[in-house]
Chain A
Amino acid sequence: MLSIHNLHASIDEKKILKGINLEIKPGEVHAIMGPNGSGKSTLASVLAGREDYTVTDGSVTFAGKDLFELSPEERAGEGLFLAFQYPVEIPGLSTTNFIKTAVNEVRKYRGEEALDAVAFLKLMKEKMAMVNIDQSLLSRSLNEGFSGGEKKRNEVFQMAMLNPKLAILDETDSGLDIDAIRIVANGVNKLRNKDNAVLVVTHYQRLLDYIVPDVIHILYNGRIVKSGPKELALELEERGYDFIKEQFKAEA
């Protein structure tokens, strides 16, 4: 589904990603872990198409297409979803209206007819129950005055509504208490199936207690330095990132 080959990217001439290789298949959950500044969020941003970053080398194919040939909205149309670390606020724009626009724009891209108000409402009700989100939140301006937990829950709700092939969760656990993490993770788990995939980007192991990955990759200094089964996260939790830093300092 997603195939990253020798990806290099930089921001303002500063090299951040220095040759990432990664293969994600339908039905899989991958986690990217790593210390601060290792390039985790950059990877998520580059995949989603944020303009600040320049891809200097390598290639990414997503669902059979060259990802870098697609604009950010086309990537969304193809089924790539990014749950933001810091979801933005848009005052005056109701969350429902925003999501309705998004759903119908994506449908348009796929050559499907726009949902009318009744069909949209039905879909919304179904997904609201699934990810445990309240109607009152959706009537408010997009993310305006939302707590950290509400913002992240709203991200997962949008993911449910857009039903992506690949969901990238960028530090979705940051700033959340353990209850909020559990709610968000439950939502994500309910959305998993054999046809979609999830890429979890996180600093801490705790989110992975709830969203259990098939593979964990450790990102350090712009490269994946180690990949392994979910137990790798426990090792990191125990020993911290220092042993990774020690081990790979020479190469850095």
Chain B
Amino acid sequence: MNNELSAIEKTVLSDYKYGFVTEIEADEAPPGLNEDTIRFISAKKNEPEWMLEWRLKAYNHWLKMQEPNWANIKYDPINYQSIKYYSAPKQKKKVNSLDEIDPELRKTFEKLGISLDEQKRLSGVAIDAVIDSVSIGTTFKEQLAELDIIFCSISEAIQEHPELVKKYIGSVVPITDNFFSALNAAVFSDGSFCYIPKGVRCPMELSTYFRINAEGTGQFERTLLIADEGSYVSYLEGCTAPIRDENQLHAAVVELIAHENAEIKYSTVQNWYPGDKDGKGGIYNFVTKRGICQGAHSKISWTQVETGSSITWKYPSVILKGDYSVGEFYSVAVTNNHQQADTGTKMMHLGKHTRSRIVSKGISAGVSQNSYRGLVHVGKNAANARNFSQCDSLLLGDKCGAHTFPYIEVKNNSAVVEHEATTSKIGEDQIFYCNQRGIDTETAVALIINGFAKEVMNQLPMEFAVEAQKLLAISLEGSVG
């Protein structure tokens, strides 16, 4: 056993294969944050006056806020004046179609396994590609437009569909919500926008791929997704970043609105650069994601596979306002080396007969810390609300930590709330059993991990499930002797 453990410590070295940098000239704002920075961003985007005012309001509120310190994470103070808040890859001219995208950028995405070439895509996944602060292109736009589905960058939506943006932006995550979301509201530079009209089942997966490229920048994207009555959409997001010694801040906001009988399935495969094995560098992933089940019988389902970032602070939540609405949260969070994750969800039951289900699987290796933090709130009018939570932790080695912080607030006595939690270690017995059947230890660990995370992996769309399984194995490569 002792030998095995020292092997764990010795070999916790997984290579991050997305760590390359694209050499491309960028159009940037100087570091620092003040009203002028915000005016600069807004002007760059040629935004209407109401948008600038909204940003400034958020900024002024942010100035009065304190950075939260309740999460189970440790990091040196962030100097918000040293971050560049806007960086856009300089393109020679405005592009009218995807064919005109700078070949260097196209190559970047191809290296990541994402083809912006519609003809080359095998399956029906429409992609919005965001690099640093701007969206560089969206695929399958015309096909989607035939169904009146709007899928574009949020900058474009502000120009083309201001009435929708104005109506919904900040309606789920108000600018006053929290420190990082207020900062995002002030300086967000791009993100995706999606509107599914009444009764439409979106025929393909919609996907946004986020890439941080430039040095010293923060990425602040904002995604807004509206599913009108009786519609359905499945949405995926993926993210990577180059290997850098510095910590880079990523503070995104995602808002989902599901009207009556609508369903939104939102999946994330988060693979930001996690830092090196000594904990140097990596992305600070401080993200606010929230959806509202506005209408009766609506459903929002979050699925996340979190393997990257040096720090993750993220609680995709659902406000269950409509009667009979359903919220789900499926999560696998892997931490290795010096990574820290404090992640979970909030299920706010307001409507009658609302149901929520939480399945969280935390996997810790190295000297990492992995916390589940979840709130189940049942309001006084939420008669017959029902929640089931399951939080399982799996430990590899004995130098990592797994923590569970469940909060339950019930104000209606007809509610049924269940919570189950388990913690286990990958047993020597399990490994030996696999070994005896001819399976080496690396493969054995991958089998055990994928078995542990299966319930969550099953929620992912097919195209991503295989990718995510590989990612889990890679993230933990070499973490058992």
Contact = CB atoms under 8 A, between A and B. Distances in A.
Contact of A92 (B427, B428, B437, B455): B455
Interface stretch (B19-27, B83-91, B445-453): B445-453
Interface residues of A, number: 32
B432 A72 contact: yes
Nearest to A142: B451
Given A73-B440, A92-B452, 16 more contacts: A49-B435, A49-B436, A52-B1, A71-B435, A72-B432, A73-B435, A76-B435, A88-B430, A90-B433, A91-B451, A92-B451, A93-B447, A97-B447, A98-B437, A98-B447, A158-B437
Minimum-distance CB pairs A-B, first 8: A92-B451, A93-B451, A76-B438, A102-B437, A72-B435, A106-B438, A92-B454, A105-B438
Given A51-B3, A88-B430, A90-B430, A82 B451 contact: no
Contacts of B3: 51
Contacts of B278: none
A102 B435 contact: no
27 contacts: A49-B435, A49-B436, A50-B432, A71-B440, A72-B432, A72-B435, A72-B436, A76-B435, A76-B436, A76-B437, A77-B438, A84-B436, A88-B429, A90-B433, A91-B452, A92-B450, A93-B447, A93-B451, A97-B447, A98-B434, A101-B439, A102-B437, A105-B438, A106-B438, A109-B438, A141-B451, A162-B437
B418 interface: no
B11 interface: no
B4 interface: yes
Nearest to B452: A92
B282 to A, nearest CB: 29
A229 to B, nearest CB: 31
Given A93-B448, A141-B451, A105 B443 contact: yes
Contacts of A49: 435-436
Interface of B: 1, 3-4, 427-430, 432-440, 443, 447-448, 450-455
A162 B438 contact: yes
B354 to A, nearest CB: 29
Contacts of A26: none
B448 A90 contact: yes
A98 B428 CA distance: 17
For A49, A71, A75, A105, which residue has the most chain B Cβ atoms within 10 angstroms? A105
Contact of B440 (A81, A99, A105, A141): A105
Contacts of B448: 90, 93
A51 B440 contact: no
A87 interface: yes
Interface string A187-229: 0000000000000000000000000000000000000000000
For B1, B436, B447, B452, which residue has the most chain A Cβ atoms within 10 angstroms? B436
Nearest to B447: A93
A93 B439 CA distance: 14
B453 to A, nearest CB: 7
Contacts of A71: 435, 440
Contacts of A97: 447
A131 interface: no
Nearest to B446: A101
A53 to B, nearest CB: 11
A206 to B, nearest CB: 26
A48 interface: yes
Contacts of A50: 432
Interface in A26-70: 48-52
B173 to A, nearest CB: 34
Nearest to A143: B433
Contacts of A106: 437-438
Contacts of A72: 432, 435-436
Interface string A129-160: 00000000000011000000000000000100
B439 A73 contact: yes
Contacts of A84: 433, 436
Nearest to A74: B438
Nearest to B448: A90
A88 B447 contact: no
A141 B1 CA distance: 26
Contacts of B4: 51
B453 A92 contact: yes
For A82, A98, A162, which residue has the most chain B Cβ atoms within 10 angstroms? A98
Nearest to A89: B430
A90 B438 contact: no
A114 to B, nearest CB: 12
Nearest to A99: B437
Given A51-B3, A91-B452, A162-B437, A101 B429 contact: no
A72 B436 CA distance: 5
Contacts of A162: 437-438
A12 to B, nearest CB: 11
Contacts of A73: 435-440
B3 to A, nearest CB: 7
B2 to A, nearest CB: 10
Contacts of B430: 88, 90
B438 A102 contact: yes
A88 B427 contact: yes
